[in-house]
Structures are given as C-alpha cells and as structure tokens.
A = this chain, B = another copy of it.
Amino acid sequence: MKKIVLFICDGMGDLPHPSLGGKTPLQEASTPHMDELVSRGQGGIMDVIGPGITPGSDTAHLSLLGYDVKAVYTGRGPFEAAGAGIEILEGDVAFRCNFSTISSDGLVLDRRAGRIREGTKEMASALDGLMLEDIEVIFKAGVEHRGALVFRGPGLSASISDVDPHEIDKPVLVSQATTPEGEKTARILNLFVRKSQEILEEHPINIDREARGKKPANIILPRGGGVVPHILSMRERTGMSVAGVAGVTLVRGVCRAAGIELIHVPGATGGRDTDMMGKAEGAVKALQNHDMVLVNIKAPDTAGHDKEPLDKVAIIECIDKAVGRLLDTIPEGTVVALTADHSTPCSVGGHTGDPVPLAIFAEGNRSDMTKQYDEISCSHGGLGRIVGRELMPIMMNMAGRAEKYGA
C-alpha cells in the first residue's frame, strides 16, 4: 500500500484577469513543477461541494476528505471551536464569538473591540468553566478578537436565533428558540451574554484598556451555533493514520474533528509569509509515520480576497518550488494530489463556485495528455470533472487501499 499527499492551495482557483492579459494567475505564473506533476500524472477539474456551489473552507476540506458534508456540517461553530483547541463532543453546541465593545446604553459600538490583539486569553479564562444551570461553558480565545464557545450538557439544540446584530449602533439581540427544542439553549445563550458583560466590564484588562483610551472588550457576541455532529475519524472511515499541516484555525478545526494529527511546522503561520518550503518538508517528514498527509497553504486565498493578481502569481510561483521539493523527496509510489479547496478569483475578491484544477500523480499509474497545471488545461484532462467527495476514493484506489465491492 502506498502513501498519499493531499496538497491544498487555499483559494488558488481563479478567473481570467485583465491585468494578466486575460489569463488566470495559474496560467500567468511559471510553474515548472506543477506542470511536471500533471504531465506525469493526470489532470481534471473538481466541483469541491457540487457544480456551482461556493464552498467555505470548512465544507470544502470536509468534502475533500471524503465526508458527506450534508450529513456532518451543522455550521462553522463546531469546527472553529475544534480549531481553537477545544475538544468537541457529539451533542455539544458550539459558536464562533467576537470580543466586542458595547456602550453603557446597550448598543454595539465595535464588533471587534478595536481589533483587540492582547489580553483575550486572560479574559477568556474568566469565562471558561462557568456553569449556567446544568450547562458547562467552555470558552477559548482565538486570533485577535475571535473566540470559540462550547455549551456542554443535556437538552441542547442549535434551533436558536443569533444574538450578534452583525451591525454597529444596534442593540444586542435576544436569542429566541426557532423550535421548542431550542428554548433551553436560547435561555443559556442569553444568560451567557449577560454574564460575559458582567465579568468583562470589571476585568482588569478592560480597565487598563479604557485608561489607555482603547475600546474595552466588554461583551462576547456568539454567532453561527451548531450542534457537534457525529463524525467518524479518518482512521475509522479509511483505516489510515492521517497527519495535517495547516495554519488556519478553521482548517485546523476540520482536521481535529476528523481525527487528523496536526503537525507543527516551523514558520507555518497561515499568513502570507508562510514558509511554504517548510510545509512541503514537514509533509514529507510526516509521511514517515502516517499513511496520508494533508497540507493547506493559505496564501493564495488571501491574495484573492485582496484582489491582488500579481501577488497571487508570485505566491503560486513560490508554492511551485515547494511542489518541486515534495516531488523530489516523497517515497517512491506516493500518490500526490494538487488542488484547491475553492476558487477565490482576484476579480471577485471572495470565494466562488468555479471548479478548481486538480492533478493526481502516482508512479505506475495512468498518465494523460495534460501538460500544464491551470484551470483551463486541467478542464480538458483525463480525470474529467469530479466532485470533491470522490477525490479520496480515487486516491485510495491509486494507493492500493480500495476495498472491493462485490466478488
């Protein structure tokens, strides 16, 4: 049985851009190693969730890992919480949160508390461990103004409305049950928000911030609550031990929820300065004691959101070198898939449902007539047009890990 590398360049898929003479960043970039990969293997395109559906990073990664997104995705909350390092359990209700600023008359002044960067850990620990009725509160700070909240206990449901008004100068909303099952959870959520205000308003960090003329992070605004679904681990589903190299909290959360062991790679921050070469090297190293490794590189997505096509070209050329290092150092026969979790076109500045390019290579496997790795060349490739959930079985077959159905 062979090993598998799934190399995901976040948001790398794109559209033609005027400032690139009508080419996509992948078409414009010089990518000798990606082209070698697809030339020795096969090309195709992939609708990560389904044709025309715009994936989120969470749903996209679940799909690429072979999960039935419709069955396991209940919202971003559970994966955000797992990414923040909370061990989520089936039945928990999890939320994304912001540290926010509220006025004395109850209006939201800043949903990000002046983009607070310091002290959130201390404030989080003042909320973590609260008991509200018979419900345990687990709260962890994330990057900048972000946090993750988990309720654990009997009778919880995600059938509730949001408290975050999603706009400034509006009052905090009172969560309502959207079905009778949600009544307890709505009550606990409203209680938590009130409690967060009581505790944070008197917190020394906020007193200090106000003294320095900064906005206090004096309330927590949770949103996007979801019940933690029953998710079989990758080992249970595929029999493989899987490692993950990823900097982004949400992608790390998907990995954690799927039982993927997160590998620390020096310099892998998830930012544009990510040490891509280090990620490739970390992946090869992780293959020594894992059957499969997933690598996520965030930078192309950021360039897409920022509408910077030239930047995206430069990032892709940098990733190309990492792909070269990967091809030079993987064990013989390893199945390598190079793709994206979604398109983030620089002309759009956000995710779109355009299919992503896909290349799969494994020594001894079929090689088609695709010679270049980009959205257009791959669309004529021999892998055809597949959906994201089909990628894992296809790779497992090439790795000699497929099970026979029938006799």
| A54 sits at the interface (CB 8 A) | yes
Give chain B nearest CB distance to A190 CB in angstroms: 24
A166→B382 CA distance, assembly (Å): 41
Report yes or no: B52 in contact with A397, Cβ–Cβ below 8 A. Answer: yes
| B76 A394 Cβ-Cβ under 8 A | no
| Cβ-neighbour of A376 out of B59, B367, B400 (below 8 A) | B367
With CB as the reference atom, state the residue of chain B lying closest to A60. Answer: B406
**Is the beta-carbon distance between B405 and A51 smaller than 8 angstroms?**
no
Asked if A407 and B375 sit within 8 Å, CB to CB, the answer is no
A132 contacts B by Cβ under 8 Å: no
Verify if A284 is at the interface (C-beta below 8 Å from B).
Answer: no
Contact at B366–A407, with CB atoms within 8 Å?
no
Name the contact of A393 in the complex, choosing from B53, B224, B397 (C-beta under 8 A): B53
What residues on B are CB-neighbors of A352 within 8 Å?
Answer: 397, 400, 402
Within 8 A of B (CB), among A14-54: 15-16, 24, 42, 45, 49-54
Q: With A364-B347, A407-B224 in contact, do A390 and B52 touch (Cβ < 8 Å)?
A: yes
Contact flags A327-355 to B (C-beta < 8 A → 1, else 0): 00000000000000000000110011110
Q: What's the nearest-Cβ distance from chain B to residue A75, in Å?
A: 8
The residues in A between 360 and 407 inclusive whose CB is less than 8 angstroms from any CB of B are 364-369, 375-376, 379-386, 390, 392-398, 400, 402-407
Tell me the complex Cα distance, A395–B55, Å.
16
* Those 6 A-B pairs whose CB atoms lie nearest each other, nearest first: A56-B406, A52-B393, A59-B406, A384-B385, A379-B382, A353-B397
Interface residues of A, Cβ cutoff 8 Å to B:
15-16, 24, 42, 45, 49-60, 69, 73, 76, 224, 250, 347-348, 351-354, 364-369, 375-376, 379-386, 390, 392-398, 400, 402-407
